[in-house]
Amino acid sequence: MSFAARFLSRPATLFGFVVFIAIVVVALAAPLLFAAGPMAIVGVPLRPPGAGLLAGSDVIGRDMAVGLAYGARISLLVGIASTCCAVGIGLLLGATAGYYGGWLDDLLMRVTEFFQIIPTFVLLMVLVAFLQPSLGSAVIGIALITWPQVARVVRGQFLSLRSREFVEAARVIGMGDVRIIVTQILPNALPPIVVVSSMMVGNAILTESALSFLGLGDPNLMSWGSMIGGSRVAMWVAWWTTVLPGLCIVITVLALNFIGDGLNDALNPRRRG
């Protein structure tokens, strides 16, 4: 059975994949669909969903549908970019610790544990406040609090693979450490890293939403979290202003979790039967 067939064999995974692709398409097409942008005032504030404004308007009269489409761009960008940065840091430190072992492994794992014992969201708020709230500071901050998870997974994989026969054979024929790590061990360690990364994107979207809700997001950009935070004063009289972006977050994270489960089934040799 091919990878695609294994990956899409579960209905939940197929649903998650289709939903996520649809969200990505809407996010990419937002400037074409809504040329005026998410900050444009289009009507009276707190207009309920209906004809003319499909998702209603927010507390200052902006079109909620436009905000949801543009918010998807920011939330996905932060989620994917911060996950890529975290995976890069985790790969570097985890591979180094797992391959060389000894005192270097002990040192890097103590650094990893230091980042894990600190309350992560508190650290994130301090980092973002120090760097000034912006898209870049959110990406950097989320990456700095999430890389230990990747580092531990990578270290465990490298510890189990570094003494395998194919690695010893590569050493015998004169391969250098970097080449062995990149061409021999890393390809065999990728499946769990890919699964963890897919889950981390969803967690990063949730974290960015929490930051924006607290007012620590980029004030010049609209994300789902900032839409909820800006409309919380009206949540009891205009439910759509907070419920709709909240549903977008829930559906996106749920779709990514379904994709992660599907990747785990497709990449796990024990489940390929």
Report the CATH number at residue 201: 1.10.3720.10
C-alpha to C-alpha distance for 100 and 155, rounded to whole angstroms: 10
Q: Total domain count for the chain?
A: 1
Residue in this structure with the two tokens 């980042």, named with its chain if needed: 115
The pLDDT of residue 253 is 92
For residues 244 and 58, the answer to whether their CB atoms sit within 8 Å is no
C-alpha to C-alpha distance for 79 and 83, rounded to whole angstroms: 6
Give the whole-number percent of the chain exceeding pLDDT 90.
47
C-alpha to C-alpha distance for 77 and 208, rounded to whole angstroms: 10
* Structural domain boundaries enclosing 169: 3-271
**Mean pLDDT of the region 2-27:** 88
φ, ψ for residue 62, nearest 5 deg: -90, 150
Instruction: Give pTM, 2 decimals.
Output: 0.89
For residues 224 and 210, the answer to whether their CB atoms sit within 8 Å is no
**Mean pLDDT of the region 34-46:** 86
C-alpha to C-alpha distance for 64 and 85, rounded to whole angstroms: 31
* Per-residue pLDDT reduced to its tens digit, 68-82: 999 999 999 999 999
Q: How confident is the model at residue 246 (pLDDT cuts 50, 70, 90)?
A: very high
Q: How confident is the model at residue 271 (pLDDT cuts 50, 70, 90)?
A: low
